[in-house]
Amino acid sequence: MPTPRSTAGWGSGLVGIIIFSGSLPATRVAVGGLSPLFLTSARAVIAALLGAALLGILRQRPPALRDFGSLAVVALGVVVGFPLLTAFALQHITAAHSTVFIGLLPIATALFGVLRGGERPKPAFWLFSLLGSALVAGFALAQSAAASVAGDLLMLAAILVCGLGYAEGAKLSRRLGGWQVISWALVLSLPLMGLIGLATLPGSWSGIGLPVWAGLAYVSVFSMLVGFVFWYRGLALGGIAGVGQLQLLQPFFGLALAGLLLGEPVAWSMVAVTGLVVLCVAGAKRYA
């Protein structure tokens, strides 16, 4: 019987996933006019300035010294690692193809939830999670002729660091609060990302069109800050492993956006595999 706390966690997590679904299409657009390094640093700097403003306006106390190690893991995972690796990957593969890899995030998040969050899902949970992940991995291998080995490997690395950042942030959110965790992680990364941004400034701004700026704005405000407010709250309330399975829904939204906004072809096989993967979330949720 779901508790009000669990229901609130799943609802908040779903909002976060819907927001994150636009990240890969927006990144795909942005790397059309900006280098991956500049895009990664610029989105982090913009989000960090917004996060710092929120922390200051709402007069949040600085985290305890013991929390800085966890905040550094969050920053390396979701502020630097995932955005940078996906930006490089999207120079080799389409947003539609990369979105399917998001189906691997639930198992990565659950694994780190056990290692870092102390959760203990039932054995049947792992069966459903592994089945969903195997479907995604099998699809990627089957499409290897039309894809890029480099792009796929970069996406796999991005998934691992992101799962770690999700689990670490969720654990910390139970004590600090969801929006505070991502805000402090962004502020912690600001000096480094600011230096990288200055070092990788575009040689000319004249050829950068409005769609590129729109992509940068989306990943800076929504993907880097707003989405995490809902996502970390959802993971903290509903459980890392359980709510993490909502990421299996992200390919649906991402594939639709890639097709509608970017005009990228979305093969029936992509939709079919995503549908099968999503069926696994019901079983995984039951035993989480």
Q: How many angstroms separate the Cα of 260 from the Cα of each of 22, 95, 204?
A: 11, 12, 30
Which parts of the chain sit beneath pLDDT 50? none
Alpha carbon distance 248, 30 (integer Å) = 25
Q: How many angstroms separate the Cα of 57 from the Cα of each of 52, 53, 64, 164, 229?
A: 9, 6, 20, 30, 17
Three state DSSP letters for 161-207: HHHHHHHHHHHHHHHHCHHHHHHHHHHHHHHHHHHHHHHCCCCCCCC
Q: Please report the pLDDT score of residue 288 as a whole number.
A: 59
Query: What residue has token string 């710092």?
Result: 52
The CA-based angle 177-172-3, given to 5 degrees, is: 65
Q: Please report the pLDDT score of residue 266 as a whole number.
A: 67
Q: Domain coordinates of the chain in residue numbers?
A: 4-200+207-287
State the maximum Cα–Cα separation within the chain, in Å, rounded to a whole number.
58
Q: Please report the pLDDT score of residue 222 as a whole number.
A: 94
Q: Please report the pLDDT score of residue 213 as a whole number.
A: 95
Alpha carbon distance 179, 22 (integer Å) = 20
Q: Please report the pLDDT score of residue 284 as a whole number.
A: 67
Encode pLDDT of 203-246 as tens digits. Answer: 888 888 899 999 999 999 999 999 988 998 888 888 887 888 88
Helix H or strand E segment including 69: helix 68-74
Q: pTM for the complete prediction?
A: 0.83
Q: How many angstroms separate the Cα of 256 from the Cα of each of 147, 154, 248, 253, 265?
A: 19, 23, 14, 5, 10
